[in-house]
Structure 1
Amino acid sequence: MTLTVDILTAFGPGDEPRAHTPLWAVFDPDWYRARYRDAVIEMAGSLPDDRGLYEFWLHNGARYAHSPNRYFDEIWYRRAHFDVENGIRMGVFDSGFQHYCETGHRGRSCHWLFSESDYFSLNPDLTPSMVRDMGFANGFDHYLNLGQTERRVSSAFFSPDIMRRELQQRRLGGDLAEGEFTRFILSRDIGTIRTSWYFDPVWYLETYQDAVAQIERGEYASALHHYLSNDNPTGYLPHPYFDEAYYLGRYDDVAGQIANRVLRNGYEHFVRFGLFEGRSPAPGVELPPYALAGGPPDWQSISSNAFIDHIRREGEEAETLTIAPPSLGQLAHLQALRAETLLPLLARSPLDFRYIGQPELSVIVTAPAIFPDLLQTLVSLHESGVGDMQVIVLDDAGRDNPMPIERYSYGVEVVPQLEGGLQQGWLRAVAQVAAPRVLMIEAGACLFLGALSDAVHAFAEQDVIAVAPQALGFDLRVMEAGLTVARDGACFPAGAGAAAFSESVNFARACDGVSGGAILCRTDTLRLVPVPAHGVETLRARQHIWAALSLALRKTQRGARMLYVPGFVLRVPDREPVSEALLRQEMPVLRQSFSDLLRGNPPHRPSDAAAIHRPVRWGRRVLVLGRKPDAAARGEEIDRVMALGRYFVEQGMQASFFLLDGGQEGESRPGADPLRTLLPELCEYRRGTKAALETLIGQRRRGFDVIWIMGGNTLNAVFPILHDHAASLPDEGFILDLRRIEALQRRQDAQAPTINQPPVDEKTFDDALAAEIANAWFCQDLVVQNAAQAEILEKAGLNGLRILGDDLPVNQGAPYEQRHDLVFAAGPATQPGYSLKFLKWFVRDVMSRVNARMPQRVRLFLACDDTRSRELSMITHHQNVASLVEGQVGLANLSATCRLMIAPDERPGFVSLARQQAGGAGLPVVIGGEHGFPGARAVTLDPGQFAEAIISLYQDQETWQRLSDEAMQQARAMSQTYRETLAGLLGQSMVKEEMRD
């Protein structure tokens, strides 16, 4: 029960106190007396007291478009909502305020600087029903009382961060707890302050003198108020970077909307839509379009985009000078200066490496050429946060002055290197190692925060004996992302020259070792490394010494792996060049000493440095090809790709995923795609054009054993590449995954949630299906989701189909009595489709019936991965629908805590993966249609019957438990089928490969 049902009328002096009154409904006598003094005197003959003013406004002022306070703008409300203006003229309403109190407050805006609808779309953790439950009348009421102090936003023309910065720069006081919106509305001294990059108040007042005069007369409060409220919307410009006449002349569709009063002016269209559609704001200015996934822009897109960059560059902030990036020499000099500054700081507060008992990690630091380099390494070790650490420093006994290490640190052990060089020094230091893992690191190398934690985590795999880092130079470009040693003894670092964490290096993989920087290994394995054999002890090139150590570690344990981990990142100093003559002289030492390890490696250094050698002995190599999924299938496609990634890694395979998305070759887009963060780190992940795929296949000639293709249309897109590069690909091992058939998806979406379904155009469906599977003959194996799909495809001419199903991990959720509410798998749901039609029908026609008969309130959660969907945001406006933010906890979590799932009916050949995943958490489902499933109660799409099915199952624990058990049993059976089928597919391919070899 909300507190607002009785207060949607004005509240003035002398009225009875109320539990809560919206600020927009409170009459302000002081402001009203100052604002309408002359009008009141003219009509009433004098200025009444506060109560008299309130009575005057109620009976006279409101009808003459007087506002009761600064928060409700009567004139603006009438102009913005012309149907209200017409209603007042016809006598339906006395004023806009009356309309707003009766109906308008439920979704309309009453102030020129606040948008009711945008408030909820820009703050997806709020819904109208939620703020009403909190005791507020609507979003504006919530914003005035609470939202503005939480720094929430609702209009592109008002950014609290920009206003606060302006207040601080101008040294204007104010109560920070008051909220910037109230400060701006109530104050008369800040009318020229900037509140947004979309409007320039100083330029506006300098340009339009008539606006200045109107503001001085009190008709408008500020320049922004005048621009957003004047009666000639297209006659004024917000700043010199938007041309209203140009915009309306170029875009006829906008001019038509203005004529119909859908929009106020061209600039409103540009700020809300045109900017993100790539429309031009002025002659000679072209902007790129933005990908908004079908929904409205979020605040990040509104407050940071190409148009704002253009304004800042051309206007308020002068164009900055182009500064050339510093050279490596300059960066090295800065690094040396930083090292010098550490000396006095550490002299006052030495680093403390003392420990009690067994340390968690031992560190061996090579002898430093320059003592400050050692201090930088020690500082980065001290800040690593991995617990107690034993630090051993090799000391070159030949130096004239001993290292003054005791002046700058406590607990560091010093071991003389003596004769025999680095390798002998390592052997002496290993004898003193006390921890189960040891980090060997060069003096001058600096670990990034969290790097050691990522490296230690890699030892969870039992066959991993050592971890190689992502080594960056002073310019933060990759110097080495793991080392490969060719069969002839040549060493070449992977990823050299690439940007840090770019697609080519941002995945874990087996490698031969390192050529310097650092290496983390198991202590027991390091102690098994024998004294350097004849020839190895004579190595002088540093990269060969470190490579020999890496190979010797791997030689101690057959089948052991050294893993490159991108999160194990450190900055290393520039390496002194080594003569090619010395490298060629020492190469035979490596190939003779480690010939058994190098037999499967490339015969020599590759000409293409971007190629990554991945020998089959480190696991069979699989390339998964997919396309960027459309909004309707994004969630399911991601889940299926993740399941494949998990399986491939569990089976020790080397998995590479390539997503065709139209991007540019070589682009690195960290954070832009959820797959990179959701896939196991051991999976390589790339996105790009078909040209980028072609380049990858060329670099990995015969570098893949299995090609897994996600969908018939993906195969159609890459077929020319696979056909033309057949010599670089396996002869067999092509698997076409047809678990999602797009023709079936479109057929499902064409249905509407009604009892009488419209007939399906079978000819159109058959043609679309035939085109989708036209190149299926190219693949040796075809997999589908279920028997109904197999039957449909067999009729279309395919044979030899295997039912794969899906991986549905069983996760026992909460028991019946601890579960509450309903869940719907909305996914992105940003495009019109059957699921979205069903959801609208359900909240409109079914949800109210459910709550009318339930003893306790039941809410509907929308499991989604994107809060920017306009369609879903509008659905949350319905009562008892949770906010989108609450739905972002994920379907798995909601399935474990909700009592029922709601789903539309499923046509033959189409099965909802989300429904089956929910079944793995023991969640029964009420599903539309006549096709029953284990764990589901099917019911016709009639609002009354659907509601009745939900109510009865929600309260019937015995039936609920039976369906819950059925759903989990089905999930277990499908997961077992999934793994058995995959094992059969890949096991068959393995036999064929062995026979060829």
Structure 2
Amino acid sequence: MTFALSVPDAKTREEHRPLWMGFEREWYELRYPDVAELMVQHGYEDSYLFYEEVGCHRGHSPNRYFDEIWYKQAYPEVRRGLLERRWKSGFAHYCDVGYTHLAPHWLFDEAAYRRRYVTLTDHYLAQRGFYNGYDHYLSYGEQHGFVAGPFCDVRLLRAMAHRYGEWFGPEGLLASWLVLPAHIADAAPASWYFDPAWYVQTYPQVQEAIAAGDYGNALHHYLTNPTPEAFNPSPWFDEAYYRETSPDILPSLGGEGLRNGYEHFVRFGAHEGRSPIEGVDLRRYKQLPLVWFDCDGGVFDSPFARFVAEKNGQATAAGIDEPALVEDQTRQLFRDEAALYLPLLARQKLDFRVRGVPDVSVIMVVHDQIDLTLQALASLRGGYKGAIELILVDSGSRDETTGLEDLVEGAIILRHKVNIGYLLGCNEALAHVTAPAVLYLNNDVRLYPEALHHALRRLYRAETTGAVAARLVRTNMQLQEAGSIIWRDGATYGYRRQDDPNTPEASFTRDVDYGSAAFLLVKTGLLRRLGGYDTRYWPAYFEDTDLCVRLQKIGARIVYEPLAMVEHLEFGSSGQSGSHKLIQRHWKVFAQQHLEFLRHQQPQHIRNALLGRERRRPERQRVLLIEDRIPLRGLGSGYVRSNDIVRALVALDYHVTVFPVMREQLPAFLLYRDFPEEVELAFDQDMSTLPAFLEERAGYYDLLWVGRTHNMARLLPVLNEASRFLTHCGSVMDTEVVAAPRALLQQAVTGLLPDGTPAPTRTAEEQEHALDALLAEELQSAHYCRQIIAVTEHDARLIQRAGYVNVMVLGHSMVPAPTPRPYAERRDILFLGAFHNVQSPNYDSMMWFVEEVLPYLNALPDDVCLHIAGYVHPSVDMTALGQHHRVEILGAVDDLATLFDRYRVFVAPTRFAGGLPFKVQEAAARGVPMVVTEILREEVGWDAGDTLLSAPAEDPRAFASEVERLYNDEALWQRLRQSALKAVQKDTDPEHFRQGLQQIVKASLN
């Protein structure tokens, strides 16, 4: 049984009925046990008819998904409508109009769901057959991990379903939970925000109310009872304490505002780090690395949710180092796993047959331990599909290694009756090598996927590279080395040994002193020139260190490649017995042999590891670039330009460390794809750790580059105090934009000051004085830097107006890449930009376009839509935009080529802005003609009607007219496309950008 509902698509209405629309006969008769008696009294035989004519007036709900009583209590306008008899029930109101924006149930908030998932616009839902967000969640979202709300955690419901399987049916987790008896529903939490067992134990009256049938369970009572401030939801939140310590929230509580302090805490305070109870410092807790990683990665909704889960034993204790895996146990596990390969490989040989010239010759010296050997070879073969010439030296084995031919096909096997040792075995094998590169590989390793591929690619990246070292990880998942350091006394140190293998310091490529020959890739010609290993290091130890030093003496570089990751069973090939004495003896040999080399090395001390981790070429300088966040290209708002600066600095052979003022929110592995492999991303740092970071790296950097003026203002006290650690360090402030004119224009457009009060009306003279005052305030910290960077000549003049003459200009870098789809196959309108807050120019421009311009687009077909793409900060509510039937919100998009290829027109309806409009240049470079406001046309300096179309920001009708003209005129479209491509190629030439950047750096260092 279903109810009438106004929806835009009749076909959709016929094909799909939301669960919340139906009448559940069996549920209804169980929920209201007096219905049977009342039906007899009133002469009804059908419970649906009874509900329609009697039950709905008595406050009955038609199904489990809608709560009639709660709905009328939550929305005063619904109560008024019922009193005025415009609707006969709250459910009738919901089906008529409420479904578009109101919550139907205390467990699901339509507006919050749409805010969380910005792509769920009205257009998106209608096109895919969903009536609203609630319908989307019940029929699709829950199955795909969407979050219904803070009090409904899908993972906890799944755990409950596993425990009480007989109570959960195929209709879904939420649907099943809604009909659970109280003793089951209250046995385990459905959310970390509410503890049902604690609640009923603490408040006996709740149990009585549930038994009386007034409430279905403890959570139902907490979220719907008439005195919400009288109850605490769990032992970890105190309503009275929160109100006392957060007095700023009191005006928003009660009446038609927030229900209680906990509602504020769940929506805001838990994410801000406000204290929920005396003794719990949530702000400090949220700064712990594991906490922010779990929360930003979506494992937990907030630091508070993670805190409660931890207290319940279901989250790793944050801030406390977990005990390291016992290495003896992990070493044994490594061996046990190797033994598993034997039966598998007995059935099918490892194929190392070579057809043609091999890509690489792999030399492996083995002595017994067939299981380790086969495990290493299996990982080698499985991780690289190219031609491998495998040369195995059997050094006096007595186990199944003597039958390697039966297990490995195509290998060159050199046999010895006695153990000749690793060094002599490798030198013998070198004579059989035919590939241009040699990989020295231990048999006690496992290669991670693509390790050899990445190493080979690095080896041939530059002619000067002689060898490539791997990121070696011990069996206990701690680093063995991320490249190795040779100290002045000849001793060695694996950089970041015993650290997390994914620490930022281990995750970028660089020149190093040497790499362990557990995995060492070397060019064959250089090896033969040096005669392989020096036999004075027979049988092993320091032979690889010596080889790397000799390679450097003939001008070859040793490069660390973090993508070549290898798990290593240390001493697995040789065992540790006798190793120490041999190491000590060969250390002395090595130190004596390379005295001249060693005197230029760092003295042996762990604090010198930073300086020793990289073989610094005299001409290569180090840059510390500080930005709001790690500048990912998808963030827009100047981050693309910062990313281009990083790339250009690397191309100019600078070493770059990127440091974020705000700790990065994305998982680290998602960051690297946006940067060259040589860049060090300090993703585990933020402004609070900068003083310690600078102290640890005292004297390390040659240039400090601070992106955005407000960051210089924030950091100035830190930089002043830490200047002793930045001796002989140049400094740059990259303004990205001079914001003062934009701020004044924003006030003129919106009529409001930043605090929300009305903006004053100013004369022209007063406007100039206001501009000078804002410029002085904005640039007050610029005195710290040797050079100030503007993005346009106009901005440079503004900076000079504020009294600074040390100004240089650096625009954008871009390579035109026009998308190929022809005009006739394109449709719709595109806007691309980031939404970091609701005060941003992009948010204002989209609100203006949707509210003021779209209504005038009458000459376009009704199905032509505006698609809004770009990063949306979680704090930005996009629902006002998404409710327009011509709007679809795409969110962040990685593949911009595919994105731009489908649209006919790009719009940039910006009403206030500053700097250089990247979005305009990007659309031009992608070959999508555009309509922009006059302010953007003036900033980019292109001619209207020749390169783009424009209209005044205060004339929505004119803007709409230009959009229609461009959309419908193919000849105009083609002419603008070609002209814009030429203009953007001239204005954003990458080589000109690099040259300008080089000049800036040189000026800053002099």
Q: TM-score normalized by structure 1?
A: 0.85
User: Which residue of 1 is the match for residue 383 of structure 2?
Assistant: 384
In 2: Cα distance, 1:728 partner to 1:45 partner: 89
Aligned pairs for 1:270-285 (under 5 A) are: 270-285=265-280
In 1: Cα distance, 2:282 partner to 2:359 partner: 54
User: How many matched pairs?
Assistant: 959
User: Which residue of 1 is the match for residue 172 of structure 2?
Assistant: 179
User: Which residue of 2 is the match for residue 472 of structure 1?
Assistant: 473
Aligned pairs for 1:91-240 (under 5 A) are: 91-172=85-166, 174-176=168-170, 178-186=171-179, 190-192=184-186, 194=188, 195-206=190-201, 208=203, 210-216=205-211, 218-240=213-235
User: Which residue of 1 is the match for residue 639 of structure 2?
Assistant: 638
Q: Deviations 1:698-724 (Å, cap 9, x if unpaired)?
A: 666765555544345555666677778
User: Which residue of 1 is the match for residue 651 of structure 2?
Assistant: 650
Match for 2:967 among 938, 951, 954?
A: 954
Q: Which amino acid aligns with 1:482?
A: G
In 2: Cα distance, 1:628 partner to 1:662 partner: 6
Q: Deviations 1:489-531 (Å, cap 9, x if unpaired)?
A: 5644433343312122211112232144211234444444436
Q: 1:405 to 1:236 in 2, by over 3 A?
A: farther
- Percent of aligned pairs with the same residue? 26
In 1: Cα distance, 2:194 partner to 2:1001 partner: 64
In 2: Cα distance, 1:264 partner to 1:86 partner: 20
Question: Do 1:863 and 1:889's aligned partners in 2 also have CA atoms closer than 8 Å?
Answer: no
Farther-moved stretch of structure 1 (33-42 vs 379-388): 33-42
Aligned pairs for 1:488-637 (under 5 A) are: 491-530=492-531, 536-540=534-538, 542-554=540-552, 558=555, 560-574=556-570, 576-577=579-580, 582-591=586-595, 601-602=600-601, 604-605=603-604, 608-613=607-612, 614-615=614-615, 617=617, 620-628=620-628, 635-637=636-638
Aligned pairs for 1:70-109 (under 5 A) are: 70-109=64-103
In 2: Cα distance, 1:163 partner to 1:517 partner: 48
Question: Do 1:863 and 1:888's aligned partners in 2 also have CA atoms closer than 8 Å?
Answer: yes
Q: Deviations 1:641-688 (Å, cap 9, x if unpaired)?
A: 22123223333x03222425266xxxx988259654411111122254
Q: What is the deviation of 1:939?
A: 0.6
In 1: Cα distance, 2:782 partner to 2:476 partner: 48
Q: Which amino acid aligns with 1:338?
A: D
Q: 1:170 to 1:316 in 2, by over 3 A?
A: farther
Question: Do 1:501 and 1:566's aligned partners in 2 also have CA atoms closer than 8 Å?
Answer: no
Match for 2:734 among 732, 737, 743?
A: 737
In 2: Cα distance, 1:316 partner to 1:611 partner: 38
In 1: Cα distance, 2:254 partner to 2:147 partner: 29
Q: What is the deviation of 1:928?
A: 1.9
Match for 2:998 among 982, 986, 989?
A: 986
Q: Deviations 1:858-911 (Å, cap 9, x if unpaired)?
A: 2222222246243234422322222344x4346554334322222244769622
Farther-moved stretch of structure 1 (514-523 vs 199-208): 199-208
Q: What is the deviation of 1:555?
A: 5.5
Question: Do 1:632 and 1:830's aligned partners in 2 also have CA atoms closer than 8 Å?
Answer: no
Q: Which amino acid aligns with 1:548?
A: D
In 2: Cα distance, 1:690 partner to 1:187 partner: 49
Farther-moved stretch of structure 1 (616-625 vs 70-79): 616-625
Question: Do 1:706 and 1:730's aligned partners in 2 also have CA atoms closer than 8 Å?
Answer: no
Question: Do 1:40 and 1:47's aligned partners in 2 also have CA atoms closer than 8 Å?
Answer: no
Name the SS for the 1:882 alignment partner.
strand
User: Which residue of 1 is the match for residue 304 of structure 2?
Assistant: 307
In 1: Cα distance, 2:1000 partner to 2:883 partner: 54
In 2: Cα distance, 1:48 partner to 1:892 partner: 64
User: Which residue of 1 is the match for residue 886 of structure 2?
Assistant: 880
Q: TM-score normalized by structure 2?
A: 0.84
Q: Deviations 1:533-568 (Å, cap 9, x if unpaired)?
A: xxx431359553102222444566x5x433211121
In 1: Cα distance, 2:1003 partner to 2:140 partner: 67
Q: Are 2:927 and 1:926 equivalent residues in the alignment?
A: no
User: Which residue of 2 is the match for residue 969 of structure 1?
Assistant: 982
User: Which residue of 2 is the match for residue 840 of structure 1?
Assistant: 847
Name the SS for the 2:480 alignment partner.
strand
Question: Do 2:475 and 2:569's aligned partners in 1 also have CA atoms closer than 8 Å?
Answer: yes
Q: 1:220 to 1:299 in 2, by over 3 A?
A: farther
In 2: Cα distance, 1:151 partner to 1:739 partner: 39
Q: Deviations 1:436-467 (Å, cap 9, x if unpaired)?
A: 44321223233233423332332451423431
Q: What is the deviation of 1:90?
A: 4.4
User: Which residue of 2 is the match for residue 13 of structure 1?
Assistant: none
In 1: Cα distance, 2:51 partner to 2:855 partner: 39
In 1: Cα distance, 2:221 partner to 2:514 partner: 68
Q: What is the deviation of 1:845?
A: 1.9
Question: Do 1:366 and 1:442's aligned partners in 2 also have CA atoms closer than 8 Å?
Answer: yes
Q: Which amino acid aligns with 1:584?
A: K
In 2: Cα distance, 1:751 partner to 1:620 partner: 49
Question: Do 2:150 and 2:193's aligned partners in 1 also have CA atoms closer than 8 Å?
Answer: yes
Q: Which amino acid aligns with 2:848?
A: W
Name the SS for the 1:883 alignment partner.
strand
In 2: Cα distance, 1:83 partner to 1:711 partner: 47
Match for 1:404 among 373, 377, 402?
A: 402
Q: 1:268 to 1:66 in 2, by over 3 A?
A: same
Q: Are 2:33 and 1:24 equivalent residues in the alignment?
A: no
Q: What is the deviation of 1:281?
A: 3.1
In 2: Cα distance, 1:41 partner to 1:332 partner: 69
Q: Deviations 1:306-331 (Å, cap 9, x if unpaired)?
A: 43444445458799999973576534
Aligned pairs for 1:327-366 (under 5 A) are: 330-331=328-329, 333-335=331-333, 337-338=335-336, 341-342=339-340, 345=343, 348-349=346-347, 352-358=350-356, 359-366=358-365
Name the SS for the 1:63 alignment partner.
helix
Question: Do 1:352 and 1:410's aligned partners in 2 also have CA atoms closer than 8 Å?
Answer: yes
Question: Do 1:620 and 1:705's aligned partners in 2 also have CA atoms closer than 8 Å?
Answer: no
User: Which residue of 2 is the match for residue 897 of structure 1?
Assistant: 902
Match for 1:262 among 248, 257, 263?
A: 257
Q: Which amino acid aligns with 1:986?
A: Q
Question: Do 1:298 and 1:868's aligned partners in 2 also have CA atoms closer than 8 Å?
Answer: no
Name the SS for the 1:926 alignment partner.
strand
Q: Which amino acid aligns with 1:621?
A: Q
Question: Do 2:442 and 2:519's aligned partners in 1 also have CA atoms closer than 8 Å?
Answer: yes
Q: What is the deviation of 1:612?
A: 3.3
Question: Do 2:630 and 2:660's aligned partners in 1 also have CA atoms closer than 8 Å?
Answer: no
In 2: Cα distance, 1:331 partner to 1:424 partner: 32
In 2: Cα distance, 1:33 partner to 1:726 partner: 76
Q: 1:632 to 1:310 in 2, by over 3 A?
A: closer
In 1: Cα distance, 2:912 partner to 2:632 partner: 16
In 1: Cα distance, 2:980 partner to 2:744 partner: 26
In 1: Cα distance, 2:62 partner to 2:400 partner: 83
User: Which residue of 1 is the match for residue 575 of structure 2?
Assistant: none
Question: Do 1:789 and 1:908's aligned partners in 2 also have CA atoms closer than 8 Å?
Answer: no
In 2: Cα distance, 1:548 partner to 1:840 partner: 66
Match for 1:790 among 772, 778, 796?
A: 796
Question: Do 2:468 and 2:515's aligned partners in 1 also have CA atoms closer than 8 Å?
Answer: no
Name the SS for the 1:279 alignment partner.
coil
Q: What is the deviation of 1:148?
A: 3.7
Question: Do 1:919 and 1:964's aligned partners in 2 also have CA atoms closer than 8 Å?
Answer: yes
In 2: Cα distance, 1:302 partner to 1:498 partner: 24
In 2: Cα distance, 1:242 partner to 1:491 partner: 53
